[in-house]
Amino acid sequence: MPDQFLFAIEVMINGLMAGVLYALVALGFVLIFKSSGIFNYAQGVFALFAALTLVGLQEGQIPFSHLINAIFGTHIHHFGWHIHSVIAIAMTVAVMVLLAILVERYILRHLVNQPDIILFMATIGLAYFMEGFGDLMWGSEIKTLDIGLPQGGSFWIEENTAWLGGENFYGFFIDRLDIVAAIVAAILVLALTLFSQYTKQGRALRAVADDHQAALSVGISLRYIWVLVWAIAGIVALVAGIMWGSKSGVQFSLSLIALKALPVLMLGGFTSIPGAIVGGLIIGVGEKLFEFTIGAPFLGGATENWFAYVLALLFLVFRPQGLFGDKIIERV
Amino acid sequence: MKLKIATLAVGAVMAAAPVMADLVFPSLSYRTGPFAAGGIPFADGYSDYFTLLNERDGGIGGEAIRVPECETAYNTEKGVECYEALKGEGALVFQPLSTGITYQLIPKSAADDIPVHSMGYGRTSAKNGKVFSHVFNYPVNYWDGASVGVNHFKEQAGGSLEGKKITLLHFNGAYGKEPIPTLTKLAEVEGFDFNAIPIDYPGQEQKSQWLQIRRERPDYVLFWGWGVMNQVAVQEAANIRFNMENFMGIWWSGSENDVIPAGAGANGYKALQFHNVGSDFPVFADIQKYVVDAGKAAGAGDQVGTVLYNRGVYAAFLAAEAAATAQAATGNSSITAGDMRDAMEALEINEAKMAAAGLPGFGPTFTVTCENHGGGGMAAVSQWDAASQSWSLISDFSASDSSIVDPLIMADSAAYATENNLPERCN
């Protein structure tokens, strides 16, 4: 096969992998928007905070140590232990659930029946608060996240595909971390689907998503559902934080991954879990192929972010609710 | 009543008097936001060195030093606000620590008669003091960096880059595009193929760029990145098993932050530096004793000896030397920003001064003149050892190819002078 064709396939495969990572971030937005109509601006910061907490717990870092040292003149930083990744993840999940409870207790409960824009503004405030809180709690330095996930291109795939092309083709490059991310995303989506279809809480969540008033009238607790959905979104944020943090280290720019989720949401729809996945894949493949075929050769490169939003805007023109989103019809 | 008010006013003036007499070195820092990991060590180093001078030497020439800090979050608008807020406090020199902020301050600094020191960043052609009266970018600029980097690769290739391919992987903005004219010119002269691959901000996803590098197989890659872009680039280079011996970052892509997340994969990665690395210098023992152990450190005291902390120390050392030069020139310990500017234009950094400051061999020796605000344009190459988790210099400080760089600086600064109708200085 011609090398150029094989390179295009390689770009497409890597685009799919990148799309999975985008979808992981978008999923958190969808879960909250679907159940409460809130666009959670803080979702990127949740991923950051979850990853910071995971590394902090794993490495035995003393929370607020900088603050404690500044006030009391001490020099404490670490407890001196190292916790196994699985236990650290479980503890981080508990922290994210606690965070969901606090968000419901101190923010959402007081904003019931407020316009959507007020709730959106509240999440902006939450984002800034969480970023500062995370900084105070765990410090600003870049942290290495190592929970044993594989990194680097797969030798096996490279060696077993090199024969497809000529001497300039070295086999397909696929990052093993991306493969893990794809598997984790598939498990996550399957688990979320099973949860929403076959559990009492999942059905309650769907009922609230369909009609708040009707759900309340049959005895479903709105507060419980909000805690539940924010906790799930927190866990999804943890997964996204682990995958992205493994690539770049855990640092405050991790919150910017939310920028990658926006075109995915516009394309896939704000209310659809499959939409987030399909949207992520389309954006991932689309931006990478555009960069490969047009961006880099003719436009000087770095067109991916631009193309992702242009693609999303095009979809908005023809399908404002996104590919899988619910069509909103308001009767007057 | 009038007497009371007058008494209060006199009291206020008297209380303010010692503050007004301080030597003020504002710190435009960024301890928050996505670039905080790079901003914190620099700000700590900058502040801690001045604290050391206060605690150990009683300031500079008997004058106490004050370092008011203003958070820019690496945001140009906030940086300009910080400048406006602090310039009235008797600021002697501003170090914007951002190319974007520097560009905004170029006309303002001349109007306010306050010098700006953009050390290893900012507008490269500000080296031409005939055009830029208040901006200094000694000891080195980006074009020098490109030249020194290419010279290193040339030496590595056995003395010739003929037929080789060099790729510039860069931040898709003013900072990242700075070396392109120099590298284009160097490609013509040295006979290598040159191409540039941009990365959009923030650079968390670089798969396209590294697949392109994997396809095109350049012999060498130069890298102009900042923030998360650095960590991802080093990780992706390790992922495609690019030879780290042939991958070199500019000095803003060469700190511990940039390589530690990639683990063993980052071993051998190179970066240019314009000052030394590590903590094996007498000044750090003094900082530990007089500043950190005394509980007077600007930060947690855990950054001492890291690359960016050292850069902050070096920036403060150069500012302190210029202030001392100004005091000697005016015969007055209390100096103005105008005196400081004049002294920066007559600054000489030699080995004796560095040794006296506890920084022997820490940076290149250089002189600044009215015509040359950029110093000697010298940089060294450092390399990361993942096993010992440390950087070390693998070359001496060497000068850039002035026959390539200087004409480009003259052309760019002349265009700026024409555009802004500036008369030529230093005649």
CA pair distance B33, A135, nearest whole angstrom: 9
Tokens standing for residue A140:
């600003």
Residues of B in contact with A302 (CB under 8 A): 172, 198-200
User: C-alpha angle A244/A245/A247, rounded to 5°?
Assistant: 70
Asked if A152 and B231 come within 8 Å (Cβ–Cβ), the reply is: no
Structure confidence at residue A8 (pLDDT): 95
Query: Domain B2-140+277-375+408-419, what fold?
Result: Rossmann fold (3.40.50)
Among B142, B205, B391, B266, which Cα is nearest to A284's? B205
Write the pLDDT tens digit of every residue in B254-268. Answer: 999 999 999 999 999
Neighbours of A64 (CB within 10 A): 15
Question: How many structural domains is chain A composed of?
Answer: 1
Asked if B240 and A18 come within 8 Å (Cβ–Cβ), the reply is: no
Look at the block and give the residue holding tokens 């003393």: A62
Residue scoring higher pLDDT (B3 or B163)? B163
H helix count then E strand count, chain B = 15, 16
Write the pLDDT tens digit of every residue in A132-161. Answer: 999 999 988 899 999 999 988 999 999 999
A25 in a structural domain = yes
Structure confidence at residue B17 (pLDDT): 43
Q: Which of residues 300-339 of B touch A (CB under 8 A)?
A: 300-302
Mean pLDDT of A246-255: 90
User: What's the ipTM?
Assistant: 0.90
Q: Which of residues 260-289 of A touch B (CB under 8 A)?
A: 260, 287-288
- Alpha-carbon distance B47 to nearest alpha carbon in chain A (angstroms): 16
Q: How far is CA B157 from CA B49, B162, B163, B194, in A?
A: 40, 10, 11, 16
Percent of chain A with pLDDT over 70: 98
Instruction: Check if B35 contacts A (Cβ < 8 Å).
Output: yes
Boundaries of domain holding A248: 3-257
Main-chain phi, psi angles of B391, to 5 degrees: -90, 150
Structure confidence at residue B417 (pLDDT): 96
- Alpha-carbon distance B59 to nearest alpha carbon in chain A (angstroms): 24
DSSP state of B333: S
Q: Are strands B247-249 and B220-224 parallel, antiparallel or unpaired?
A: parallel
Structure confidence at residue B397 (pLDDT): 97
Nearest CA in chain B to A167: B215
- SS3 sequence of A196-250: HHHCHHHHHHHHHHHCHHHHHHCCCCHHHHHHHHHHHHHHHHHHHHHHHHHHHCE
Please report, as a single letter, which amino acid is at residue B344: M
**3-class secondary structure, B106:** helix
Mean pLDDT of B104-127: 96
CA pair distance B183, A61, nearest whole angstrom: 45
pLDDT at B1 over 50: no
Asked if A173 and B33 come within 8 Å (Cβ–Cβ), the reply is: no
What are the residue ranges of CATH 3.40.50.2300 in chain B?
Answer: 2-140+277-375+408-419, 142-273
Longest dimension (CA), chain A: 69
A264 in a structural domain = no
Write the pLDDT tens digit of every residue in B22-41. Answer: 999 999 999 988 888 899 99
Name the H helices within A37-115: 43-58, 65-72, 85-106
Structure confidence at residue B101 (pLDDT): 94
Tell me if B266 sits within 8 A of B288, measured CB to CB: no
Per-residue pLDDT band for B243 (boundaries 50, 70, 90) equals very high
Asked if B37 and A288 come within 8 Å (Cβ–Cβ), the reply is: no
Residue scoring higher pLDDT (B316 or A332)? B316
Residue scoring higher pLDDT (B249 or A268)? B249
Write the pLDDT tens digit of every residue in A292-327. Answer: 999 999 999 999 999 999 999 998 888 888 888 777
A102 in a structural domain = yes
A77 in a structural domain = yes
Structure confidence at residue B9 (pLDDT): 53
CA pair distance B144, B241, nearest whole angstrom: 29
Instruction: Check if B238 contacts A (Cβ < 8 Å).
Output: yes
Instruction: Check if A74 contacts B (Cβ < 8 Å).
Output: no
Write the pLDDT tens digit of every residue in A170-215. Answer: 899 999 999 999 999 999 989 988 998 899 998 998 888 778 788 8
The pLDDT mean for chain B works out to: 93
Residue B378: in which H helix or E strand, if any? strand B378-385
Structure confidence at residue B21 (pLDDT): 63
Domain spanning B142-273 has what CATH number? 3.40.50.2300
